[in-house]
DNA sequence: GATGAATGAGCCTTCATTCAT
DNA sequence: AATGAATGAAGGCTCATTCAT
């Protein structure tokens, strides 16, 4: 009996996770409006009703997916060891990390995009998001402060602007890959193109933060 | 008679234009999937079926809206007089133009976003888009060549990367305003914030292209 | 001027004819409900409004097509020279004629089918149809009377039943070709199959009318 | 509990059946194109979406109706006891059965008609139809073989042609009742007319198969 | 906890027809 | 005589969600 119960609990958590995973994929691929609850159920190999049982409705589910996505990037970001090198180099490491995270988690930027299309209506209702993302700002703040002390980074740089710059240079490239690829008639997803983009991004940030 | 006919033609063109305008607004606001043909008709004060009469279906309509959007930004961009000043300054002018165009035409970046969500399926089917956007590349190519000759701009800069950088820094800020505003708990749409953002963008690009 | 007028009149009659021809094809192919006025206009290379100008609406147009169809088969039927041979042979000639007419005018049976699906609502409103089809009955009546006198045809045969039998044996085969072909897994439209069918039909009618 | 479950299953099957029944009526009455899914739902006293839930779409529903129709006639046909009498008489029994089946199931011939209008597109996609109808051919094949042996039926008669003849003589009369009734200005649905028609049909088939 | 059945609202699109010249 | 513009009424189908067990 106990075994059963345990097994059940495990299964339950597992199924919830499977639904969340399926939802992330679907939402990222189609956007909130384009996503289909049926398809999420199918992907998760779960009964559709189960989704409602666990997550109440499509909006709540999306919110959960979004929160988890933020949590994940912040977790990995916080795990970087940026103290070992000078602040300017650490910032470039952050550029690299951001870029690679976007590449390896393409859902992340797509989810954000969809949420912004909806004017952040899910985030507005989410209690935890601000909290989750607090480290994003504090990391760069610390880095900028240290860089300034070290003399490796220009003094009057705003942490939010730095964060935005780092994200922007990678995010825009990746999110608009489809249209840019057509306009420039090249495949922007090829390794060479991606490497070159990272080089440019680091070059750009490096020039900007140089004292 | 001729007058009548003219009037008719004008009315027709006008109604088509009204539909396109309404569609741009709706598509920008809700994205392709979230947009409702009914609402477009309502906004245009046109009969819904007229939309199908003129534009066949929602996809064709979206494509037309998108093409027109590209056409418009390129037209204004091409109208800038960038030859009067050194190339490095001209590039900063381009940064300013892009920023202000995005601000004054918020639909533009939202349409692009939606189209990318759909993996550019409309653009892929659009003959004219590449052509329409040709000037985008050539303008910066010319500027970079001149800047290199003048010694005002660093030599080995790629035109596409420059274009992407300029767009990215503004685009990301504006498209993600909703979520960023929540995470940073500030209103990023306030004049002061916008001005500061433009300053940073110019600073960043200037540092990057400096010889 | 006169020439103009004549030319116009000719064109007019011609265009009406083109519309009728296009309508016959479309109605036969898709049935009344499946037929599209747009497609008829397209087929006739005429403006859609012109159809309404000439024929008021889809129902009237269908009625005209139907009347013309009846008129045509009766005209050809009446043109047969059945007096030259004994009545029993003449009847078999009628079987042959009917069969070949159906084969060469596949629209005819399909139009009838569609009209019957609609419970003959067009025919009910058509004044001329009964009149047009009067010869159908009288021809066989005459033949049966003559055959009886000659001793080549059995006496107590009803003209209507004869007509129905003749039509039925060919009509059913042709109108149900698609489904029968699947059930019997053969191509019933092949020449050999068609010839065999005609042979059977004649055999059957011959046996039935034999004195 | 078990009872409940059973009841549910019964209800479900019942509702599906009610939908099928309603669909048969509607399709027969209006043809595939003229039929309205709304009306089917109404007739079945079911929610319209339930139809899509069970049958995916209008075409699938029609296919199911068609298959069931074939299944039913073949089932009844196979239940005839034709072995008790000489083959020639058995064949006339088949004529009678076919006629009465058509009379009592007027939807059958109308469904076939509609399907043929659509060039058997549903049947083509139906796996089971050929199988379902296999007995149609084998019954007459057996009868013809026996009749030949007995000397009660002419030897060289093709089973398919016999089937077609039997069906044709009744089918044509019934399916074209509306138009024929107008042309001949009589009510072909009156008992006397129907009886007379059956008499003629048997007479005709009897004459044809006589050795 | 889990699931098959059922539904209301709405969406894109079609179509015959009319308007206005 | 001829036609481009416009429309009301539906039609098939989808989708998030709820019911009932």
Give, as one character, the DSSP assignment of residue C83. T
Specify the pLDDT at position A201: 98
- D186 SS3 class: coil
Residue among B160, B177, B185 minimizing CB distance to A130: B185
C-alpha–C-alpha distance, residues B73 and B93, integer Å: 15
Specify the pLDDT at position D30: 95
C-alpha–C-alpha distance, residues C76 and C21, integer Å: 18
For A156, the token pair is: 């009057």
For D43, the token pair is: 């007739």
For D174, the token pair is: 């019934």
Which residue shows structure tokens 């116009």?
A: C8
Chain segment C120-142, per-residue pLDDT in tens:
999 998 989 999 999 999 999 99
Class of the CATH-defined domain A62-209: mainly alpha
C5 pLDDT tier (thresholds 50, 70, 90): very low
**Residue C4 pLDDT > 80:** no
Distance between the alpha carbon (CA) of B45 and the C1' atom of E9, Å: 23
For D70, the token pair is: 């074939």
Give the mean pLDDT of chain C.
93
C-alpha–C-alpha distance, residues A184 and B163, integer Å: 11
Cβ atoms of C165 and D169 closer than 8 Å: yes
C-alpha–C-alpha distance, residues A121 and B188, integer Å: 16
Interface contact B165-A169, CB threshold 8 A: yes
Residue among D113, D203, D207 minimizing CB distance to C117: D113
Specify the pLDDT at position D8: 53
Distance between the alpha carbon (CA) of D6 and the C1' atom of F12, Å: 33
**Residue D83 pLDDT > 60:** yes
A107 CB neighbours strand F below 7 A = no
Interface contact A30-B34, CB threshold 8 A: no
- What single string gives the DSSP state of each residue in chain A? -HHHHHHHHHHHHHHHHHHHHHHHHHHHHHHHHH--HHHHHHHHT--HHHHHHHHSSHHHHHHHHHHHHHHHHHHHHHTS--TTS-HHHHHHHHHHHHHHHHHH-HHHHHHHHHHHHTTTHHHHH-SSHHHHTHHHHHHHHHHHHHHHHHTSS-SS--HHHHHHHHHHHHHHHHHTHHHHHHHTTS-TTSHHHHHHHHHHHHHHHHHHH--
C-alpha–C-alpha distance, residues D159 and D177, integer Å: 27
Give the mean pLDDT of chain D.
93
**Residue D6 pLDDT > 70:** no
Provide the b/e sequence for A31-47 (b: ≥16 CB within 10 Å). bbbbbebebbbebbebe
Q: CATH 1.10.10.60 occupies which residues in chain D?
A: 1-55
**Residue C3 pLDDT > 80:** no
Comparing CA positions, the residue from D65, B38, C117, B163 lying closest to residue A188 is B163
Which residue positions in chain B have pLDDT lower than 50?
1-7
Nucleotides of E under 7 A from a protein CB: 1-21
CA distances, B76 to each of A172, A192, B81, C26 (Å): 22, 33, 10, 51
For B86, the token pair is: 């050194």
Closest Cα in chain A, distance from residue B78 (Å): 17
Q: Which of the four CATH numbers 1.20.120, 3.40.50, 1.10.357, 1.10.12 does domain D63-209 have?
A: 1.10.357
Class of the CATH-defined domain B1-55: mainly alpha
For A197, the token pair is: 């983009």
Specify the pLDDT at position A141: 97
Specify the pLDDT at position A14: 84
D5 CB neighbours strand F below 7 A = yes
> Under CATH, what is the fold of the domain B65-209?
Tetracycline Repressor; domain 2 (1.10.357)
C-alpha–C-alpha distance, residues D24 and D174, integer Å: 18
Residue to substitute from B141, B170, B200, interface A, most A β-carbons within 10 A: B200
Specify the pLDDT at position B176: 97
Give the mean pLDDT of chain B.
93
- C56 SS3 class: coil
C-alpha–C-alpha distance, residues A184 and A197, integer Å: 14
Listed in order, strand segments (DSSP E) in B97-198 are: none
Residue to substitute from A154, A173, A178, interface B, most B β-carbons within 10 A: A178
Distance between the alpha carbon (CA) of A50 and the C1' atom of E2, Å: 7
Q: CATH 1.10.357.10 occupies which residues in chain A?
A: 62-209
C204 pLDDT tier (thresholds 50, 70, 90): very high
- What single string gives the DSSP state of each residue in B23-90? HHHHHHHHHHHH--HHHHHHHHTS-HHHHHHHHSSHHHHHHHHHHHHHHHHHHHHHTS--SSS-HHHH
D4 pLDDT tier (thresholds 50, 70, 90): very low
B49 CB neighbours strand E below 7 A = yes
Interface contact C172-D176, CB threshold 8 A: no
C-alpha–C-alpha distance, residues C116 and D175, integer Å: 7
What's the whole-number mean pLDDT along residues D86-111? 98
Which residue positions in chain A have pLDDT lower than 70?
1-10
What's the whole-number mean pLDDT along residues C36-45? 94
Cβ atoms of B111 and B66 closer than 8 Å: yes
Specify the pLDDT at position C9: 57
Interface contact C182-D130, CB threshold 8 A: yes
Chain segment C52-87, per-residue pLDDT in tens:
999 999 999 999 999 999 999 999 999 999 999 999
Q: Supply the pTM of this predicted model.
A: 0.90
Q: Which nucleotide is nearest to B48 (CA to C1')?
A: F7
Chain segment B153-211, per-residue pLDDT in tens:
999 999 999 999 999 999 999 999 999 999 999 999 999 999 999 999 999 999 999 99
Which residue shows structure tokens 């089809």?
A: C133
Specify the pLDDT at position C15: 85
C-alpha–C-alpha distance, residues D114 and C32, integer Å: 11
**Neighbouring residues of C20: CB distance < 8 A, sequence distance ≥ 6:** C61, C64, C65, C68
Residue among D115, D173, D183 minimizing CB distance to C130: D183
Q: CATH 1.10.357 occupies which residues in chain B?
A: 65-209
Interface contact D117-C113, CB threshold 8 A: yes
Give, as one character, the DSSP assignment of residue B152. S
């Amino acid at each position: 009996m106990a075994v059963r119960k345990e097994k059940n609990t495990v299964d339950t958590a597992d199924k919830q996770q499977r639904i969340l995973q399926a939802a992330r994929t679907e939402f990222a691929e189609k956007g909130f409006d384009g996503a289909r609850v049926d398809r999420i159920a199918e992907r998760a190999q779960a009964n559709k009703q189960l989704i409602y049982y666990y997550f109440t409705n499509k909006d709540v589910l999306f919110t959960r997916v979004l929160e988890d996505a933020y949590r994940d990037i912040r977790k990995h970001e916080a795990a970087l060891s940026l103290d070992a090198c000078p602040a300017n180099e650490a910032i470039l490491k952050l550029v690299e990390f951001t870029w690679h995270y976007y590449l390896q988690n393409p859902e992340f930027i797509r989810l954000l995009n969809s949420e912004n299309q909806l004017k952040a209506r899910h985030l507005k209702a989410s209690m935890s998001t601000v909290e989750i993302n607090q480290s994003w700002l504090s990391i760069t703040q610390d880095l900028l402060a240290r860089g300034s002390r070290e003399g490796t980074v220009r003094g009057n740089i705003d942490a939010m602007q730095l964060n935005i710059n780092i994200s922007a240079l990678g995010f825009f490239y990746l999110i608009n890959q489809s249209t840019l690829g057509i306009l420039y008639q090249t495949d922007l997803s090829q390794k060479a193109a991606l490497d070159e983009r990272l080089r440019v991004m680091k070059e750009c940030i490096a020039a900007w933060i140089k004292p």
